[in-house]
Structure formats: C-alpha cells, structure tokens
Amino acid sequence: MIPPRLPKSALRAAMVMAGAGMLALPHLLGPYWTNLLNDMGIYAILGLSLNIILGHCGLFHMGHAAFYAVGAYTAAILSTRFSVPILWSMPLSGCLAGLFALAVARPIIHLRGDYLLVVTIGIVEIVRIALVNNIFGLTGGSNGLLITEPISIFGYEIFRPAHFYYLIWSMAALTILLFYMLQNSRFGRALNYIKQDDLAAEGSGINTAHYKLAAFVLGAVWAGLIGAVFAAKIETVSPQSFSFSESVLYFAIVILGGAGSIPGVLLGAFLITGLPEIFREWQHYRLFLFGAAMVIMMIFRPQGLIPPGRRHYNVWPYLGSFPRGVASRNREPR
Amino acid sequence: MKKLFFFCLALLMGSLSAQAAEIKIGLMAPLTGAYASEGEDMRRVVEFMAEELNKAGGINGAQIRLVIQDDGSDARTAALAAQRLVTDGVAAVIGTYGSAVTEASQNIYNRNGILQVATGSTAIRLSEKSFKLFFRTCPRDDEQGLVAVNTLLRMGYKDVAILHDNTAYAVGLAEETRDGLLKDGKTNLVFYDALQPNERDYNAILTRLRGTNPEVIFYTGYYPEAGMLLRQMREMGWQIPMLGGDAQNNTDLVKIAGVEAASGFYFVSPPMPDDLDSQSAKNFMKAYQAKYNATPRSIWSVIAGDAFSVIVEALRVTGADAQKMGAYLRDNLKDFDGLTGKISFNAKGDRVGDLYRLYRVDDKGNFVLQPK
C-alpha cells in the first residue's frame, strides 16, 4: 500500500512555509519557550545520533551521555585553558568523542543485547565518576567548569536563546539530512540487516563487528559535536548533566518515538523534553505525570509512536532480466 | 458576545489591579532530583515566611506572591527555570542549593537585571565574577577552612593528619586547612593524602595513617566514609580524636559508625536548625513545628528563609528596582537580624560573619553544639 502522493509543488510550498515558520518562531515566542525549543533541538540531535546505534543497528547502548560528556568537556577545557573559541573546538570535540567510543567499544562490540547494555551503563558511570574526581586536574570536580569566553561565530556574538535557536536547529536540519541519506545508503541497509539478524548478516558477508563499531563511532562523533554546543549554551559543564539518568532519557527518546525512524525520534525528543515543562505548574508531581504518560504510551504503542515503515523495493522491472540484472545490482549491498 | 467581551475586560482589569498591589518573588529550588528533600524544605520555609508576612500586611501594603520553579537539581533544568522566572517578571530570586546548578542560572539573571540570593551554593567562584546583583546567605567554602584551622589550633594538637577523598569540595577544604596550618607554623602536618570514596574497607589507609603517629585526624570528605573510618579505627583499637567538615553533619554517620565509635567525634558545621540561639529563630522554629509538625531537616532551608528576609528588607527600603536593591544590600544592610544570625554582605555579595560552630558526638550518639 503506497499512500497517495501529494503533487510536488504543494509539498514544496508546505516545506517552504514550515521553514519560514521555524525561522520566525523565536520572534513569536518568548525567551523561555525558545530556550525550551533549543533543548528540544539538542535532545533531537542526541536522539538521532543514538538512533544510528540503537535504532538502526539494534545495539542496546545506554551510555550515550558518556560521549556527550567527552564532547562538552573537550570544548569547555579548550575554552577555559587555552581560550579556544568554544564553537571552533566542535570538530575536535566530535573527534575525541569518536576516538573514545572506538577505544571503549572495540573490546565490547561482540557482546549481545543485555550484556552490552550493562557494560555501556558501566561506561557512563565511569566517565561521570572520573569527572567528579577531577581527572588529570582538568575537569574541575563536582562543580565542573565555567566558560567565561564570549561565544561568537564569524565575529557575531551569540548569547540570546534566539541566537542558539538558529545555531542548534540548523545543525539539526543538517543532521536530519545526513542521517536520512545514511539510512538509505548501503551502510544504512547493512545496519538494518544486523539489527534484524546479525547471524544472517554475517553469513551474507557483512563484517558485523566493523559495521557495529562504525555505528558506535558515528553516533559518538555526533554526540560529541552537540556536546560542544551544549557547553556553549549552558556556559557551565558539570558531571550532574551527564548522569546515567540522562542516558536513559536518550534511550527513551529513541524507543518511545520509534527505533530507526527519524520523524519518530524527533517526536520523541519533543515529548521527552516538552512534557516535564508543560507539567511544570504541578511542581513536584511533574515527574510523576511524565512517568505515567510514558507508561501509558508504552502500553498502547510498544513499537513507538512513529515506527519506521517497511522498506519497499519494486522488483517487477528486474523479473524478466533475472539473473543478469539482479546480479549486477546485487553487488552493491554486498 | 458582548457578555464575553465584558467578562474579558473584567478579567483584565482584575489582573491589572491585582498587579498593582503585588510583588512577585521567585524561588528556584530542587523540588525533584538528587537534592529533592532540601528543595522541599526550602519551599516550606519560604512559603511559611511569605504567608506570615502577607498576614502582617506585606511590604508597604503590597502583598508578596511567590513564584516557585523546580530546578531539578540539574543545570539544564535550572536554566529553563531561570528563563521562566525572568519571563514571569519577578522582582528578585531566592536560590538555589547546588553550586553548579546556581551557576547555570547566574548569567541569565545577570543579563536580565534580576537580583539573586543563593542559599546553599558554597563554591568560591560564584561570587568572583563581579556580578553586581548576586548575593548569598550561605558561607563560602574557604570560610570553613579558616574555621577548621582555628579549631585545630585551639584544640592544641601538634601533629595533624589531613585526609580527603579527591572530590572538589573535600580537596578545597583540605587545601585551605593545610595552608592555614602551615602558615601558623606551630603544628606539623604528618600526613596529607586521599582515600577512595564508596569503599567498605579502609584498614590499609588507616594503618598507613597510624604509622605517622598523628594526634588528630581531620577528614574533609562526606559522612559515609567518616562513619566507616570511625568504626574501623575502633576495631583496630586506635583511639585518637577525629575532626570532620560540614558534609559530615548527618545523623547517618552515627548509624554507620555505631554509637560507641562515633562518640567523641568532632565536626565543624553551620548550626543545626534546632540549635539556632536567637529569639526570632526560636519563635520561627516553634511556629514552623506547629504548622508542619516537623523541623527543617538541615540548615540550608533556614538559610533560604534568610534570603527571603533580606530581599523583603531591600524591597521595603528601596522598592522593586534591582540595581537599588543590590546597592542597598551591599552597602547599607549591616547586621540584619536573620534566623541564622546577623547578616551583612561584603563587596562580592558574600555573607560576612561566622556561621560555623563546633559539634561533638556525645556517648548517646547525639550531635551536641560546643560552646564557642
């Protein structure tokens, strides 16, 4: 069943209007709601980066806050010690987070399901405790680090929520575009294959350890990049921001929204960051309401709010030319 | 339709007239998360004091309305809470408890010109940023170091061992104390090192400590480890006095150590709510007890009450202009009679005056305030 297609011009017009609406949003909303949208954007990017590992590749990874922390602390340390403008250190933040992921994931990549989950929980706790203990005298212990350097891009100083809104959401748009392309690439298909059945994938000649590791590193690089943006936005990084419960939130975003689905993860990020704020008026009941909402959603939609659709490939044109046509195309996904 | 219009108009008028006779004060407190019990007490204390004030006629005829926001014991949520309070148009903000959490909100208040009085954030650097509108009614980490030095000197021990646990707070306190003792020159520092927190067995480090023959141990970390140390010192039959910092002001210490091992243990800390000696504090505790049938669990929430009092005092004298309020608190408020003692602020916005007291655990396991 293929849904009826909208005419292309209508689709384009709708996208232009949505884009214009997004651009105008911070001027219509106050700083508080803009700030909330910024948090949503950060969580959306984090969710998307975890989605590569958890949603596409099916690896139960509950330590994503560790990579996020590496990125945020890299940027903060470079800014406080060496006065590197915080957004310039973004590439390095991403690379270090990726290297860290490579180092810690390499020995554990063969673990399955829950076993991997337990080890990744260990990783996030080790990172947090290392930060609290002021490792190498760099991280400032439990009070964390304070970023005093003004934050600017090309001489344009950014400090208002609206400035960050444009920065974060343009990054989110780029992330969505890249990850959408990735999802439909050979790499993306290989990850999906591993998720469905890694034995069969291995049997078909997919180097599963290599692809799993690549998924880990890619997700970590992205978490590191957004970690630097988070550090710039919040202006102070401390170990409490990278606790195990944060990792659980990212996990919940992906599972709740629909593992492997980009619109699902975006919706998940909106709900996970938005609901506690909407329930703010109820003060200390707000987390209770939030938890109840999550339980109800999981009872009625265990596959996630927007699960990824089945992939459709039209095989009719190839039927006549079998095996030649199929064989030549078949080489591509290996 | 017409009815609806008038209804709306009436609502609008109502809200306008209510605004004229009402001053909003924000309270940012950790109602959820790791410090939730502190936040709950902060909310109770400040709500109680606001009610009392409103009953007594408010500030120059204007009623106080508290706007309470949860900071979730976490920097990200605190930034949102601060943004929310700014949007709500509060005249000043009380809070919050954790230092890193306060720090995430500081810039937001500063940029928007809102007076902030922190209540449990003792990290030194918070008041080193020359923010004109930042104050705190709690002491600063380095003050405790001075108190510890004076206490050790007064006790008259010659050979002192200092032990910390590598957390930023404990290292800070240990360094302050070490430097103070070395400057004085009359005492020998025979041991200075860290233990690994969250362990069960400290016999190795205790044996090393014993080898250096100290007369007193000053442990700067938290109560669980202090309790284990006391217990294991007793088990190995080593009896020398031990002194602790304010992170050991928790009755669980006695549970962990056992009453016999804990008795005779000293620690420096701001006074417990029950030990506040001023008449106003005694009256407050009695009224609070009558209303909630409990006392505040720690001193920090009472300090939040003091933050409320100084804000009210500033509002009474200068009106709701943040710059004027800040100038008044910094320059003109001297020896204000707060619940936890006299309150004045120095040029950095830190509270001036000694809040720390010496406590001793008696042989029934109670924390007893020592005379000054």
Model pLDDT for residues A301-317, shown as the tens digit of each residue: 888 888 888 877 777 77
Which A positions 9-28 lie with beta carbon below 8 A of chain B?
none
Same fold across B2-139+277-352 and B142-269: yes
Residue A325 has pLDDT above 70, yes or no: no
CA–CA dist A235, B105 (Å, integer): 10
Per-residue model confidence (pLDDT) at position A3: 54
Domain ranges of chain B: 2-139+277-352, 142-269
Domain count, chain A: 1
| A238 has a chain B CB within 8 A of its CB | yes
- The verdict on B76 touching A (C-beta cutoff 8 Å) is yes
CB-CB contact of A254 with A47 (8 Å): yes
Q: Which secondary-structure segment (H or E) carries B188?
A: strand B188-194
Nearest-CA residue of chain B relative to A43?
B76
Q: How many CB pairs under 8 A join A and B?
A: 88
Across A236-245, B7-16, B356-365, least confident range: B7-16
Q: For A60-87, how does the pLDDT look when each residue is reduced to its tens digit (9 = 90+)? A: 999 999 999 999 999 999 988 888 888 8
Q: Which of B135, B201, B148, B196 is nearest to B176 (CA)?
A: B148
Residue B115: both structure tokens together: 């007076």
- φ, ψ of residue B354 to 5 degrees: the values are -90, 125
Interface probe for B, chosen from A148, A278, A280, A284 (most Cβ of B below 10 Å), is A284
Q: For A56-88, b where at least 16 C-beta lie within 10 A, e where not — what string?
A: bbbbbbbbbbbbbbbbbbbbbbbbbeeebbbbe
Architecture of domain B2-139+277-352: 3-Layer(aba) Sandwich (3.40)
**B194-207: per-residue pLDDT in tens?**
888 778 899 999 99
Indicate if the pLDDT at residue A269 is higher than 50: yes
Q: Is residue A167 part of a domain?
A: yes
Average pLDDT over residues A141-165: 79
Decide if pLDDT at A322 tops 70. Answer: no
Task: Compute the mean pLDDT over every residue in chain B, rounded to the nearest whole number.
Answer: 87
Range of the domain at A142: 37-244
- The Cα B141–Cα B121 span in angstroms is 9
In single-letter form, the type of residue at position A81 comes to R
Q: Which residue type is seen at A43?
A: Y
What pLDDT was estimated at residue B141? 81
The contacts of residue A36 (CB under 8 Å, 6+ apart) are A273, A274, A277, B80
Reported as type and span, the H/E element at residue B139 is none
Q: How far apart are CA B220 and CA B210, in angstroms?
A: 18
CA-nearest residue to A140 within chain B is: B168
Any chain B CB within 8 A of the CB of A122? no
Whole-Å CA distances, A89 to A38, A153, A228? 20, 12, 7
Distance of CA A26 to the CA centre of its chain: 23
Q: In this structure, is residue A192 part of a structural domain?
A: yes
B343: closest CA among B298, B296, B307? B307
CATH topology of domain B142-269: Rossmann fold (3.40.50)
Residue A80 is assigned to a structural domain of this protein: yes
Provide the residue type at B131 as one letter: F
- Contact yes or no for B171/B164 (Cβ under 8 A): yes
Contact assignment for B75 to A31 by CB distance below 8 Å: no
B86 at interface of A, judged by CB pairs closer than 8 A? yes
A25 in Cβ contact with A34 (< 8 Å):
yes
Over residues B25-71, the pLDDT tens digits come to: 999 998 887 788 888 899 999 999 999 999 998 888 899 999 999 88
Cα distance between residue B224 and residue B200, in whole Å: 10
Is residue A89 in a domain? yes
Q: What pLDDT shows up at residue A84? A: 85
d(CA B303, CA B135): 12
Q: Are strands B159-164 and B216-219 parallel, antiparallel or unpaired?
A: parallel
Please report where in the chains the tokens 């005492």 appear, as a residue: B187
Provide the token pair at B99: 């230092």
> B355: Cβ–Cβ under 8 A, 6 or more apart, which residues?
B138, B139, B143, B270, B271, B340, B341
Q: Does A240 touch chain B (CB under 8 A)?
A: yes
- Asked if the C-beta of A282 comes within 8 angstroms of chain B's C-beta atoms, the answer is no
pLDDT for A321 beyond 80: no
State the smallest CA–CA distance between residue A137 and chain B in angstroms. 10
Specify the DSSP class assigned to residue A204. Answer: T
In a domain, A179, yes or no: yes
| B104 to A240: CB separation less than 8 angstroms, yes or no | no
Say if the Cβ atoms of A132 and B171 lie within 8 Å. Answer: no
B341, β-bridge pairs? B338
Rounded to two decimals, the ipTM of the complex is 0.74
